[in-house]
Chains A and B, each alone.
Chain A
Amino acid sequence: GAVVSQHPSRVICKSGTSVKIECRSLDFQATTMFWYRQFPKQSLMLMATSNEGSKATYEQGVEKDKFLINHASLTLSTLTVTSAHPEDSSFYICSASRTGVYGYTFGSGTRLTVV
């Protein structure tokens, strides 16, 4: 079955630094990848949608310059949290979809803690 690998699973960084999170589709080509934030007991909040080879589409209220998304290949999308602050601490989860195929495959999430 389709597998999406997300790395790292947990990261602690200092305020002001940048963190890169990778989302890889291991056995399929992901034409579209989605990045979410998950707060406790809340719905996943869609941050952006990225299509391979083009600029990501950000949801309203999400800072493009702070959350840099790159989808350079059909199997890899990255989310870089720049100049991280403690309020950026959260779970970040990616998912991927394939053209013509039902459903989404989710990564296992990255727990970011900014100290």
Chain B
Amino acid sequence: EDKVVQSPLSLVVHEGDTVTLNCSYEVTNFRSLLWYKQEKKAPTFLFMLTSSGIEKKSGRLSSILDKKELSSILNITATQTGDSAIYLCAVLEYNFNKFYFGSGTKLNVKP
């Protein structure tokens, strides 16, 4: 059964800390893996990863895909209270027919 698992489910850190969020997947026809940040209404797109080993960066956020390990990590350095959100990982199936979402990691950054 195709699935996406994120860990940890929740995380509490202090400002300035570095965090690593994990996403592992078992999807038969993997196409790409997407990371989103959800604060309020709708998830905001962060990254889309298709190739293994190529890091994508945006400011303090970075992400990398490991197709051998069927996983991805999302790193946030020098965390700020504004990083507090639910971070979602989703895998898009090759035929563009399905998304498989993880349950999300709830990050709480304390001042």
Is there contact, CB below 8 Å, between A105 and B103?
yes
What are the 3 A-B residue pairs with the smallest beta carbon separation, nearest first? Answer: A106-B101, A46-B42, A108-B98
Chain A nearest Cβ from B7, distance in angstroms: 13
Is there contact, CB below 8 Å, between B45 and A42?
yes
Chain A nearest Cβ from B11, distance in angstroms: 13
Q: Which residue of A lies closest to B99 (CB)?
A: A109
Is there contact, CB below 8 Å, between A104 and B99?
no
Is there contact, CB below 8 Å, between B99 and A106?
yes
Across the interface, B96 reaches (CB within 8 A) one of A44, A59, A111, namely: A111
Contacts of B44 in A (CB 8 A): 43
Q: Does B38 contact A (CB under 8 A)?
A: yes
Is there contact, CB below 8 Å, between A43 and B96?
no
Is there contact, CB below 8 Å, between A41 and B103?
no
Which of A's residues lie within 8 Å of B, judged by CB? Answer: 1-2, 9-10, 34, 36, 38, 41-46, 59, 91, 93, 95, 102-106, 108-109, 111
Chain B at the A interface: mostly helix, strand, loop or mixed? Answer: strand
Contacts of A105 in B (CB 8 A): 101, 103
Contacts of A46 in B (CB 8 A): 41-42
Chain A nearest Cβ from B78, distance in angstroms: 23
Chain B nearest Cβ from A92, distance in angstroms: 11
* Number of B residues, CB within 8 Å of A: 21
In the bound complex, CA of A95 to CA of B106 (Å): 17
Centre residue among A43, A46, A59 by max chain B CB count within 10 A: A43
Q: Which residue of B lies closest to A105 (CB)?
A: B103
Across the interface, A43 reaches (CB within 8 A) one of B36, B90, B103, B106, namely: B36
Q: Which residue of B lies closest to A45 (CB)?
A: B42
Across the interface, A41 reaches (CB within 8 A) one of B45, B86, B97, namely: B45
Instruction: Please list 21 pairs of residues, one from A and one from B, whose beta carbons are closer than 8 Å in the complex, sorted by A's number.
Output: A2-B103, A9-B98, A10-B97, A34-B42, A41-B45, A43-B36, A43-B43, A43-B44, A44-B43, A44-B45, A91-B99, A95-B101, A103-B86, A103-B106, A104-B38, A104-B86, A106-B101, A108-B99, A108-B101, A109-B98, A111-B97
Chain B nearest Cβ from A7, distance in angstroms: 11
